[in-house]
Amino acid sequence: MIPLQSAKYDVVVVGAGPAGSAAAGACAAAGLRTLCIEEHGTIGYPVQCAGLLSNAAFTECRVSGRAVQNKVSGARVISGKGSRILIDAKKTMAFVVDRGTLDREMAEHAAGAGAEYLLHTAVCGLGINAVTTRGPSGSAEIGYKVLIAADGPRSSVARMLGMERPPVFLAGIQADVPQEIDPRFVEVYPDASPDFFGWAIPAGPDRTRIGLCSRTNVPALFAEFRKMFSPSTVHLVTGTIPLGIMPRTYGHRTLITGDAAGFAKPTSGGGVYTGIRSARHAAAVAIAACEHDRYDDEFLSRYERLWNEDFGNELSLGFRLFGMRERLSPDDMDELVRALDDPGLIRTIEEYGDMDRPSAVVKRLLLNPATLRLLGPLARTGFKALF
């Protein structure tokens, strides 16, 4: 708790998800007085994530295995017309995790490094180098030198600063159902949504996590999709996925990270990897700003350079791929799935596929002569935008 009505920190982080705790932990470990503010009373809840993390994303979390529910080696893609392909790397490619457990462990590590946490507290105003909060104990004004916004797709900080938001927001619904699918593979249903896809994730014995995202009509789409699965529901959540990076991710002594900045991957909707990577870059800039006593926009702009050099091109390519996917009809999608059912193409995907950095496999596929079979459906999507 904050003992005084007015407190001063080097860094205030808003949001205690993976990005927020990664930023808070890095700043605290560097010796900065750091506070992380979380609007919910329990870190990690409500869960608004499919909980499927690539190997790289799980490594970035720097946690133990206690949140892991399953490990998968590949995916089965099933079109609405029944065409299917199986991609199996025959080694662990992703972890299925309990996000509540993972988020809490990351917060524990950050607190162990010296970060303070203030829960069940909302940021309701921004002043001159200070946030106004409202919580169980009333209101408080908390000063900072640098503010890091890790408060998700609806970022109250970005809105209060009047910063332009990401261009696309998808709505999603997900449910855990008492049903078991092959534990080795995630199932992807591209026609469950007209502009994204549906999924079924093996989340442990007798438990499958099903969901989908779309721009519109999500409840009706999900009601139809879930007819393929158990009618019982163990756990139901809804959420929002931002696609497309906001035009500017810094300003007014503030650095915007993770979903708040639109860093969710347009190819999968996942945001843990890019969220944590961006948070570490934000922490590095915040640490340097405090060391040099420089908080102007020119100094903070180096944050944008860092994340751009890291994963900016991947998100840009992903957003173009998302635009192409929106133009694929069910017939196009079925033709695409059948065209991909080629041993050489599947081997390429298995060897070079990367959930976080799709550019490598896209380039390899474009160099493969068998990719000519894809030109029919892709020609109707404006695929030249990839180049």
pTM, entire model: 0.93
From residue 359, alpha-carbon distances to 116, 266, 268 in Å are 39, 13, 14
What is the rounded average pLDDT of the residues 29-45? 96
Task: Band the pLDDT of 374: cuts 50, 70, 90.
Answer: low
Q: Which DSSP helix (H) or strand (E) runs through 35?
A: strand 34-37
Tell me the backbone φ, ψ of residue 180, rounded to 5 degrees. Answer: -115, 130
Q: Is the pLDDT of residue 378 over 70?
A: no
Cβ-based neighbour number of residue 227 at 10 Å: 8
Instruction: Please state the separation of Cα 259 from the chain's center in Å.
Output: 6
Structure tokens at 299: 């100094």
Task: Band the pLDDT of 372: cuts 50, 70, 90.
Answer: low
- pLDDT above 90 coverage of the chain, percent: 84
Task: Band the pLDDT of 6: cuts 50, 70, 90.
Answer: low
Beta-strand runs (E) in 114-167: 116-118, 122-127, 130-135, 138-143, 146-149
Which DSSP state fits 326? H
122-127 and 130-135 strand pairing: antiparallel
pLDDT at 1: 40
Rounded Cα distance between 103 and 35, Å, is: 16
pLDDT tens readout for residues 252-283? 999 999 999 999 999 999 999 999 999 999 99
Task: Band the pLDDT of 354: cuts 50, 70, 90.
Answer: very high
Tell me the backbone φ, ψ of residue 221, rounded to 5 degrees. Answer: -60, -45
pLDDT at 233: 87
pLDDT at 2: 44
Q: What end-to-end distance do the CA atoms of the chain give, in Å?
A: 52
Cβ-based neighbour number of residue 326 at 10 Å: 13
pLDDT at 288: 98
Q: Is the pLDDT of residue 377 over 70?
A: no
What is the rounded average pLDDT of the residues 331-336? 91
Task: Band the pLDDT of 363: cuts 50, 70, 90.
Answer: confident
pLDDT at 334: 93
pLDDT tens readout for residues 203-234? 989 999 999 999 999 999 999 999 999 998 88
The SS3 of residue 30 is: coil
From residue 261, alpha-carbon distances to 100, 245, 246 in Å are 22, 6, 6
Task: Band the pLDDT of 70: cuts 50, 70, 90.
Answer: very high
